[in-house]
Amino acid sequence: MVSLVLALPLAAQTPAGRYQAPVVTDTGDLKGPRQPIFFRHDIHAGEDQIPCMYCHYSAAVSSEPGIPSLQTCLGCHVVVSGGTRAGLEGDTGAAQAERAQIQQLRTAWRDRKPPEWIRIHALPGFVRFPHQRHIKAFGAQSCSKCHGDVQRMPQVYQVETLRMGWCVRCHVENKVSRDCSVCHY
Amino acid sequence: MTDAIDRRRFLKVLGVTGTGAAALSACGIGPEPTEKLIPYLIQPEDQIPGIATYYATTCRECAAGCGIQVRVREGRAVKLEGNPESPINRGRLCARGQAATQGLYNPDRITSPLVRNASGVFEAIDWDGAIPQLGAKVREASGRGTVFLTGAEASSFGDLVGEWMAQVGGRRLSYEPFAFEALRAGNRLAFGTGTVPSYDFANARYLLSFGADLLDTWLSPVEFQNGFARAHAFDAGRPASMAKFVYVGPRMSLTGMNADEWVATRPGTEGALSLAMAQVIVSQRLAPLPGDVGRLAELLGRHTPRAVAAAIGVEREAIVRLAREFANSRGGLAVAGGMAAQYPNGAEIVAAVNILNYVVGAVGTRVKFGADLGVGETNTFADLAALTADMAAGRVAVLLVHGANPAHSLPGAFQQALGKVGFKVSFSSYMDETAAACDLILPDHHPLEQWADSRPRAGVYALQQPVVQPVFDTRPTGEVILRLAGRSGGGTFKDYVQGKWRELHRRFGAGKSFEQFWFDALQQGGLYGDAPARAVRLANGIDTAFSRVAPPADAESETGGEVDQTVVVFPHPVLHDGRGANKPWLQELPDPVSKIAWHSWVEVHPDTAAKWGVAAGDFLLLKSSFGAQKFPAWITSSVRPDVLAVPTGQGHTAFGRYAKDRSANAFELLGVQANSYGGRNFSVRATATKTGEHRRLVTTEGSPRERGEGTVEVLSLARARSLRPGDAPFHHAETPEYAAEAVEWWAERQHEKAELGDYRGEQPRWGLAVDLSKCTGCSACVTACYAENNIATAGEELMERGREMSWIRIERYWLSDERGAPYGAVSSPMMCQQCGNAPCEPVCPVYAAYHTPDGLNAQVYNRCVGTRYCSNNCPYKVRYFNWYNYAERGGEWEAWPEPLSMLLNPDVTVREKGVMEKCTFCVQRIRGAQNQARLQDRNVRDGEIVPACAQSCPSEAIVFGDLNDRRSEVSRLAGNPRGYHVLAGLNTKPAVTYLARVVAAEAPSHG
């Protein structure tokens, strides 16, 4: 059995002058599908500046980006209970709401029932997209090229079409292969 | 693997992360709104999504004990490959081994323990109820006969069964339908030792097989085939030293097909031929003779070629020639077994062949006693016959069966006897005939799900580890026994195996901690050492032991008229004794000799067929004194006119959807009494009657002979030896004159094209080289391709209509002497030739078939609209069309019913209805290697990309690489003077180079 590791990434502790995620009062206004837990990429990746690949751990080495296990969440949230970030400004209602989400996560861990996330970015079965090649070409900060500014999204939605024409345009601009069998096999 | 997630959870996770395996969605682009991503609770430490993990373990599909590496993706075993560390199979794997995953994810597996209720119907029971019930029965039966029947188990599991049986006063018996009793008895007769030695084929310079099907079913086929290819290939490291291979037997098997000469002796006279050859060698002093050869004088004196020629049906000159060739090679190796050793005088035949080996000094060098094979420890058929008699007489109170299906291989007698047994327990994972007759079924884990080990040969200890979580509610039988024996306090079955390995650690683990020793063994797949050689001498009384080397009288006489025939029952190359029958890959794999799939057949010589007025597909009712079965006739010159041959494997009355009620069971024809050496007679006398019924054979045979069209090329050994670098014996076919202008025009267009976009600059040109002097036709590549590329099995009905999807097929063409009698065959793997000037490409109206910069004929599935023009225009007929949606859940033609779909390769698209598909040179492996190389800022190295066919090939006949890289192995082979392109005259410029088959027969065969 793997033991729980408490490891807060360094970025999370960097102070001052950084983005503050907004307080969301009406989730009905947000773009994108509602997720079983109101996980906020804008707080984690934006305000706390946790690198994308802290959770999506295999994007640089594998075709698959990796969906973080609940254990990864608990790595922080075993101690981080939420509701204390600067942006809340003593808004107790909002703080409570955020704590409730983290509580939901802990409950899921206790019950060994991982949340069933709604998938946002999906490709049809006949397309191969190697994440690692794109990270290698554009660097670890390049996720937003395709996924949009996730660091500013309280709820993630699909920004780009992920259609073939959109893929090919980028391949043309960057003078890389447009051969069909690079992606289709 | 971590045990932190339960099984259901695990399956759910798999359902999502295996994105690639999802069937083509009809609407195509865009996210499916309901698609879910379910994360792991705890990330397994050794798994990265999208990256395969390989685990070393041991194949348990037969007793050979090949090492395998299991490719696991997101917790599913998707592909098996040979383990290069294993001294048995050296990284290679046969079709049966490949198909082990279809056993693991078989839709007909028993999902939980079952017990027969009062009304005689099976109902589910939980483990905590089932195990004590069995315990009580075993206690009750104490002293009234408890028998535990296993398969070939030279292993810790076998040891545990033995210990438990000793504890409860029962006995252990192991059973293999083809258990090589004649071999063991013959060795005892000749050398006084009843063990099965290992054979060094790689270092033989002349091979003689008396019915031993060393390439398909005999002892250790992958190991032997690899060694055979090293000896028999034209240039496998020893230039121009090709060992001639002569096959002796009444029927040409896959092994016989690869011979340079076929000697069809009269059945049962193989031993006489062998002694006559020994007589020539000794009397003419053709080899340095062993000191005690004088003891053979009298025996050999009775078997001069002159004396036996008429009886065995081979001319005297031929015997003398064979003897000379064998001795003069200074590296002769003769083996006997299989069909030549299944007569009542089988043991004598083996002993006679032992003598032939002995006089040329092969025993101790190429026949290695000491490195004995574990399968030789199996009980004989006589033991099973005795058990059957005991059961029938009510002397067995409890029978436990694991890893054997005697109710299929002994259909009448064993099944009846089962009824007299008080309590019958099966540990089978499948509802086979034996399990179906039992009272309690405690399904075992699949070998890929559990800890175990095996001892395939002395000195080799192969380890088995679980590579995936159990698919169903099964339990390792080892655990069940430990609990019943009251030893579960001592730990799990893994602990038991480790206990046995602590003993090995004491013997071989010098300087290592046990943990390190165990870890190393696990990583390598086992502990690989050499057993000390054991010298053997001629046994006492050898000269008098040979009263029956001549055929038994009844086999000689042709009484009973034209319908009374010798029927030879032989093990099917992939279904074997029937254990492979519920795996669709193996059912759909055409038999390498007959090219028939999905049903059994009876081999009839054309002369016999003409005499009886039998056409191919006509049913013949074979009736022996033990049973009657009908088989459709396959008419072939590869069987003697006075012999009919029938494969085992089919005719199951239970076992699962792919096996049940399919064709006929050849075991029905056989007797149930053991013969004089404790074996079973697989040849019987039977009458053959036409029933008037007829069926279309499900065959992939196009033309039995190559009609000079350059599909396969064959060179004589002398011609092949005379070739010098730069020679091009087949060059005449490359560009016919009438095409010169067109070719010139085409070449100019190529220059233009090469300046466009992605096609600019240096590109690899992927290519294959296939050495036909190594290819045996075993078809391991075919099953490997099915496994790697998610190829659908079409089933009997569609295959009969020619709709199989086999991206690589083995074409078999007979080789004939000047009288038209076949002496062997050339097998040629035919896959997409990835033409440089491909006929398929220009006819595609939607550019789904097009040429990639790296020289592949790509097929873009999502662009294909299914006009099938490409297939019509392909001269090689290697394109396959999806007539149905084989991936449709619950569909009529569903090829992967749950949980079979779990073995789908997530790197390869599952094609849907209306789409054309074909060999891609395993483009997913090419792209995978390129991705990996780019991450490391380098180019792909030669040998880094290995397509599935090349990976599995037991004879290492297929080489893949970049033809534009002058230093690559494949471009070196492409320049070999034996190289040719199939149908080169069409100017298709294939990327596949075949190297001509070389036949060592200077003088064509007789027989």
Q: For residue B28, which residues of chain A lie inside 8 Å, CB to CB?
A: 124
pLDDT score for B706? 76
Q: What is the ipTM of this complex?
A: 0.90
- Provide Rg for chain B, Cα atoms: 28
In whole angstroms, give the CA distance from residue B783 to residue B769.
19
What's residue B758's pLDDT? Answer: 83
Collect all residues of chain A within an 8 Å Cβ-Cβ radius of residue B6.
112
- Chain A interface includes B49 (CB < 8 A): yes
* CB contacts, 8 Å: A1 with chain B: 2-4, 42
How far apart (Å, rounded) are the C-alpha atoms in residues B855 and B862?
20
> Residue A53, exposed/middle/buried by CB under 10 A (0-12, 13-18, 19+)?
middle
CA-CA distance, B169 to B144, in Å (whole number)? Answer: 9
- Mutate which: A34, A63, A174, vs B, most B CBs within 10 A: A63
Q: What is the DSSP string of B858-918?
A: EE-TTT-----HHHHH-TT--EEE--S-TT-TT-TT-SSTTTGGGGS-TTSPBP-TT-EEE
**Please, what is the Cα angle at B467 between B463 and B468, to 5 degrees?**
150
Contact A56/A68 with Cβ under 8 angstroms? yes
How high is the pLDDT of residue B236?
54
Reduce the DSSP state of residue A138 to 3 states and report it: helix
- Write the residue in A58, A124, A178 that is nearest to B28 by C-beta: A124
Is B209:B328 a contact under the CB 8 Å cutoff?
no
**Chain B residues inside the 8 Å CB shell of A184:** 858, 860-863, 909
Upper half-sphere CA count for residue B93 (Cβ side, 13 Å): 32
Question: What's the CA angle centered on A68, arms A62 and A72, to 5 degrees?
Answer: 125
Question: For residue B20, which residues of chain A lie inside 8 Å, CB to CB?
Answer: 125, 128
CA terminus-to-terminus distance, chain B: 58
* Alpha carbons B357 and B249: distance in angstroms, whole number: 18
* A-chain residue closest to B907, CA distance: A128
Q: Which of B510, B529, B517 is nearest to B456 (CA)?
A: B529
**Contact check, Cβ <8 Å, B38/A109:** no
Look at residue A9 in the predicted model and tell me its pLDDT. Answer: 46
Q: How far apart are CA B150 and CA B63, in angstroms?
A: 12
Residues composing chain A:
185
Reduced to 3 states (helix: H, G, I; strand: E, B; else coil), residue B1006 is coil
Q: What's the token pair of residue B859?
A: 């097929």
> Which B residues 838-857 touch A at CB under 8 Å?
850, 852-854, 856
Question: How many contacts does A have with B, using Cβ atoms within 8 A?
Answer: 166
What pLDDT, in 10s, does the model give residues B788-809? 999 999 999 999 999 999 999 9
pLDDT at position B395 is 95
Distance CA B926, CA B130 (A): 50
Distance CA(B79)–CA(B366), nearest Å, equals 34
Is B25 within 8 Å of chain A by CB? yes
Distance from CA of B870 to the nearest CA of A (A): 18
pLDDT under 50: residue ranges of chain B: 1-31, 553-562, 1003-1007
Q: What is the DSSP string of B736-770?
A: -GGGHHHHHHHHHHHHHHTTSGGGSS----EEEEE
How long is chain B? 1007
- Please report residues of A whose CB lies closer than 8 A to that of B15: none
For residue B558, the model assigns a pLDDT of: 39
- Nearest chain B alpha carbon to A180: B860
Q: What is the DSSP string of B51-69?
A: B-EEEEEE--SSTT--EEE
Residue B977's identity, in one-letter code, is P
What phi and psi values does residue B408 have, to the nearest 5 degrees?
Answer: -90, -45
Residue from the list B51, B758, B862 with its beta carbon closest to the beta carbon of A126 = B862
CA–CA gap between residue B860 and residue B838 (Å, rounded)? 15
Which chain A positions have a beta carbon within 8 Å of B2's beta carbon? 1-2
Contacting residues for B158 by C-beta, under 8 A, at least 6 apart = B150, B172, B174
Contact B36 A117 (CB under 8 A): yes
Question: Which chain A residues touch B25 with a CB distance below 8 Å?
Answer: 124-125
Q: Given this model, what pLDDT does residue B467 score?
A: 95
Record: contact B49-A62, CB cut-off 8 A: yes
Nearest CA in chain A to B39: A69
CA distance A171 to chain B (A): 11
**Predicted pLDDT at B862:** 94
* Interface-testing mutation among A57, A110, A113, A119, with chain B (most B C-beta atoms within 10 A): A119
CA distance A17 to chain B (A): 34
Q: Tell me which residue in B37, B39, B853 faces A70 most closely, judged by beta carbons.
A: B39
Say yes or no for a CB contact (<8 Å) between A180 and B924: no
pTM equals: 0.93
Q: What is the DSSP string of B934-981?
A: HHTTSPPPTTS---HHHHH-TT--EEEEETT-TTSHHHHHHTSTTEE-
- Please count the CA atoms within 13 angstroms of the CA of B899 that sit on its side-chain side: 19
Q: What is the gyration radius of the CA atoms in chain A, in angstroms?
A: 18
Tokens 């072939």 belong to: B636
**CA distances (Å), B591 to each of B338, B586, B952, in order?**
17, 9, 18
B119 token code pair: 């009304």
**Is B38 in Cβ contact with A116 (below 8 Å)?**
yes
C-alpha B8/C-alpha B677 separation (Å) is: 52
- CA-wise closest residue to B335 among B466, B456, B180: B180
DSSP lists the bridge partners of residue B849 as B859
User: Which amino acid is residue B141, in one-letter code?
Assistant: A
Give me the pLDDT at residue A177, please. Answer: 92
Rounded to a whole number of angstroms, the distance from the CA of A37 to the nearest CA of chain B is 13
How many degrees, rounded to 5, is the angle at CA B214 between CA B209 and CA B215? 120
Taking only the tens place, the pLDDT of each residue in A20-40 is 999 988 888 899 999 999 999
| pLDDT at residue B491, as a whole number | 85
Buried b (16+ CB within 10 A) or exposed e, B713-729: bbbebeebeebeeeeeb
Q: What are the structure tokens assigned to B1001, written together?
A: 């027969």
Query: ∠ at Cα B247 (B242, B249), nearest 5°?
Result: 175
Chain B CB contacts of A180 below 8 Å:
850, 852, 858, 860, 863
Long-range contacts of B977-981 (CB under 8 A, 24+ apart): B977/B723, B977/B724, B977/B725, B977/B726, B977/B727, B977/B728, B977/B729, B978/B234, B978/B713, B978/B715, B978/B720, B978/B723, B978/B729, B978/B773, B979/B730, B979/B769, B980/B710, B980/B713, B980/B730, B980/B733, B981/B733, B981/B734, B981/B833
The token pair at B629 is 């079965």
The verdict on whether omega for the bond into residue A33 sits within 30 degrees of 0, i.e. cis, is no
What distance in Å separates the CA atoms of residue B946 and residue B440, rounded to the nearest whole number? 46
Instruction: Give the mutation candidate from A158, A160, A179 for the B interface (greatest B CB count, under 10 A).
Output: A179
Q: Is the pLDDT at A11 greater than 60, yes or no? A: no
